[in-house]
Amino acid sequence: MSNIPNRRKSRIKDATAVLAVETQAVEAECNQRMSKIRQTARIKDVLQLKDVKLSDRLRPYSLQIRALHQLETAAELRMREILDGHLVEMRAQRDLQGLEQLRSHFLHREWTYLKGVYPLLYRMAETESEKLLARLEHETDSRRRNRPGR
């Protein structure tokens, strides 16, 4: 009978140790994913890397795992960097048709992944691309009007 209390104590320690080991494994995985996120060039890939599967035991502690928050922050930062690169690429366009094609490509093949998870980021990119399109349309119309021979 004296062994029963000891077994209970060891089980409690074992459960705590298992949580600690699982937490360390998740933190290591998050650090690995953050490294991959910094190197990826597509929003879809960033979103896939951002999602870490947690065991049922760890789920209640997800808010306490700092590496998960760091991973989320790194993913959002990288997505903003990728979006900024897309917008820079769009600003470099001087051809209206080329800009429309590029905008369509980004909207449907890159930014669409943001809609559900980061709707504000998606809307910001969409709005900025609309402004760029309107500006280029205005510049193109102005050039046509100012051409000699009209």
Q: For 28-72, write each residue's pLDDT tens digit.
A: 999 999 999 999 999 999 999 999 999 998 999 999 999 999 999
* Residue 147 DSSP code: S
pLDDT at residue 73, as a whole number: 97
Domain regions of the chain by residue span: 3-146
* Whether pLDDT at 87 is above 90: yes
Rounded distance between C-alpha atoms, residue 107 and residue 129, angstroms: 9
Rounded distance between C-alpha atoms, residue 83 and residue 87, angstroms: 6
Rounded distance between C-alpha atoms, residue 136 and residue 130, angstroms: 10
Q: Which of 60, 46, 62, 55 is nearest to 121 (CA)?
A: 46
Rounded distance between C-alpha atoms, residue 69 and residue 64, angstroms: 9
Rounded distance between C-alpha atoms, residue 41 and residue 109, angstroms: 13
Tokens 């048709």, residue? 97
Between 147 and 118, where is the model more confident?
118
Average pLDDT rounded to a whole number, residues 100-112 = 96
Average pLDDT rounded to a whole number, residues 101-112 = 96
Q: Does the pTM exceed 0.85?
A: no
Residue pLDDT, tens place only, 6-34: 555 555 567 788 888 999 999 999 999 99
**What is the residue-averaged pLDDT of the chain?**
89
Rounded distance between C-alpha atoms, residue 53 and residue 71, angstroms: 13
Rounded distance between C-alpha atoms, residue 147 and residue 150, angstroms: 7
Tokens 């789920």, residue? 59
Considering just the CA atoms, what is the radius of gyration of the chain in Å? Answer: 25
